[in-house]
Amino acid sequence: HRNPGGAPIEDESPIGVEVGWWTAVFLNFSQMIGTGIFSTPGTILRQTGSFGLAMIFWVIGFFLSAAGLAYYTELAAMFPNRAGGDVAYLEQAFKRPRFLFPVTFAVITIMLGFASSNAIVCAQYILFSRGQTNPDPWEMRGIAIACYAAACLIVVLHNRTALWISNVFAAFKVVILILIVVTGWAVLGGGTRVKDPHSHFKGGFHGSNNNGNALAGALINVIFSYAGWNNANNVANEMRNPIRTLKTAGTTALGIVFFLYFFANIAYVAAVPLEQAQASGQLLAGKFFTAVFGDFAGQRVLPVFVALSALGNLISVAIGQARVFREVARQGIFPFSKFFASTRPFGTPAAPMLLKFILTTIVIIGPPAGDAFNLIVSIQTYPSRLFDLALVVGVYLIRRRRAKEGIPRPVFRAWHIALIFSILVNVFVLVMPWVPPAKGAEPFSFPYWVPWVTGIGILCTCGAYYLVWMFVAPAIGRYKI
C-alpha cells in the first residue's frame, strides 16, 4: 500500500515468510561471529596498548550494540512491514529535505556494499592452514573472490536453503567459539602445554594508550566485530511476528555473543603472550591454536574452522544486504530499479547479489594486500557511524511526529540512556580518528587520514548524486519527483 514520502509498503513479502525465531537468532549469530572475533583482537590489543583497556572496549562495544538493539526494535515496532533496516527507517525519519537521507544512504549502501574484508580473512585462514603465513597477494585475492562467489550462489539459488545453510554455519561458529573459550579455561587451569599462562595478564592496564586516533581505531574494530546484531531487522517483513521475534532473538544472540567474545579474548592472551598477540595482525586465532594444540592442529586443522566461520558470515551478510539493496531499488533512486527490485528467476534478490559480487571483487583486487583488511574496515565503519548517529536522532524525530499526529506509542520504546550513549560513542568515533597517531604507531603504510578522507569523499559523492537526481536531472528532463 501507499507510503507518502517513501517506497510503497509490501503487505506480504514476495520472498516469502520463512524467518522464525531460531532463524532470526542464527542470522544475528552468523553475521556477528564472522571474521571479527578471529581477526581484530590482536589489532585491538595493539591499539589500546594493554589487556585491561582492550577488555573495557569490548564491554563498551556490547553496550553500544545493546543500545542499538533497543532503538532498532522500537523502529521495527513502528514499521513492522518494512524490510531493509536502515534504509527504510531513515526514509521515515528524515522527510525533509525530501529524499535526502534515503538517497544518500542508498548511494553509500551501493558504494560500500562489499564484503571484501570477510572474504580476505576467509582466504587468509585457508592459506594459513596450508602453512602460508605470507601468501602471494594475488593467490589470496583469487581465493577470496572464489569464497564470495560460493556465498552469492547459495543466496541466489534458493531462499529457504540459504537460510538453512546460514543456520548451520551459525551453530558451527558458536561451537568454535565455545571450543576457544573452554580451551582458554583449560590453559588457565594448567591443563595444556602453555607454560605459566597467568604471567600473560601481569600489568593489567600497564602500557595503556591515550592517543585518540589509536583508541578510536580500536573502537572501530570492536564495532566491526559486533556488527550484525541488527541483521534480522533486514528481513523483518519475512517474520510472522516481527516485534516479539526481533526483541527476544536479538537480546538472546547479543548476550551469548558478548559472553563468548569476552572469554575468547581472555583465552587468546592466556595462550599467546601479550607482545606476540599485539604483533599477530589478523592471525591471533591461528597463533592461539598453534600455541595450545601444536603445529599440525594449530596451523592445518583449526584454521580451516575459522575459514568456514568466515564463509558462513559471507552468507548471512549476503542474505541481509541483498534485502537492503532490493529495498533501495524499490525506492526508485537508481537506474534499472525494476530490474534490481525483481526476485526473478529464483524468487530471491538475484540482481542485487550480482551487483554486490562485482563491487566486492573490485575492492578485493584494488587495495594493497597487506593493508586491505584494516583499510576496508575503517572505510566502511566511518560513514556507517554517521548514519547510525542520524538514525538515533531520527528516533526522536519520529516520536515527536507521531505524538503530534496522535499515533499511539509502539509496543516497545528504547530507553533515553541507550540513545544518549549511542550519540556519545558515535561522536567519539567520528571525531577522534582525525587526531594524528603517535610517532611510530601509524595504523597503515599510507597516511593515517586516508580512510577518513575517503569516507568523507564518499559522503560528498552521495550529496552530489542527490543534487543531480533531485534537481539537475528533472530540470533537464522536464519531469518532477
d(CA 475, CA 173): 53
Of 305, 21, 314, the C-alpha closest to 165 is 314
The percent of residues in the chain predicted with pLDDT above 90, rounded, is 20
State the average pLDDT over residues 270-294: 85
Cell of 40: 581484530
Determine if residue 99 is left, alpha or beta; phi over 0 gives left, psi from -120 to 50 gives alpha, anything else beta.
left
Question: Which stretch, 198-202, 279-283, 323-327, 367-371, has highest mean pLDDT?
Answer: 198-202
H or E element: which one contains 71?
helix 51-78
Pick the more confident residue, 1 or 259. 259
Domains of the chain: 21-477 (1.20.1740.10)
Contact 284, 5 (CB under 8 A): no
Q: How much is the mean pLDDT over the chain?
A: 83
d(CA 75, CA 410): 9
d(CA 479, CA 2): 21
How far is CA 408 from each of CA 215, 216, 405, 413, rounded to the nearest angstrom? Answer: 42, 39, 9, 11
Pick the more confident residue, 290 or 82. 290
- Give the count of beta carbons closer than 10 Å to the beta carbon of residue 266: 21
Residue pointed to by grid coordinates 549502501: 109
How far is CA 227 from each of CA 32, 65, 136, 316, 385, rounded to the nearest angstrom? Answer: 5, 8, 29, 12, 12
Contact 200, 269 (CB under 8 A): yes
At 239 the three-state DSSP class reads: strand
Query: Residue 373: is its pLDDT beyond 80?
Result: no
Pick the more confident residue, 427 or 236. 427
So what's the pLDDT on residue 1?
A: 43
Query: Residue 181: is its pLDDT beyond 70?
Result: yes
Question: Which stretch, 14-28, 331-345, 445-459, has highest mean pLDDT?
Answer: 445-459
User: What one-letter code names the amino acid at 22?
Assistant: W
State the average pLDDT over residues 368-383: 69
Query: Residue 245: is its pLDDT beyond 50?
Result: yes
**CA terminus-to-terminus distance, the chain:** 19
pLDDT band at 399 (very low <50, low <70, confident <90, very high): very high
d(CA 211, CA 218): 11
Three-class DSSP labels, 23-34: HHHHHHHHHHCC
Query: Residue 9: is its pLDDT beyond 70?
Result: no
Cell of 189: 587451569
For 379-397, how does the pLDDT look when each residue is reduced to its tens digit (9 = 90+)? Answer: 777 788 888 898 899 999 9
So what's the pLDDT on residue 393?
A: 92
So what's the pLDDT on residue 17?
A: 64
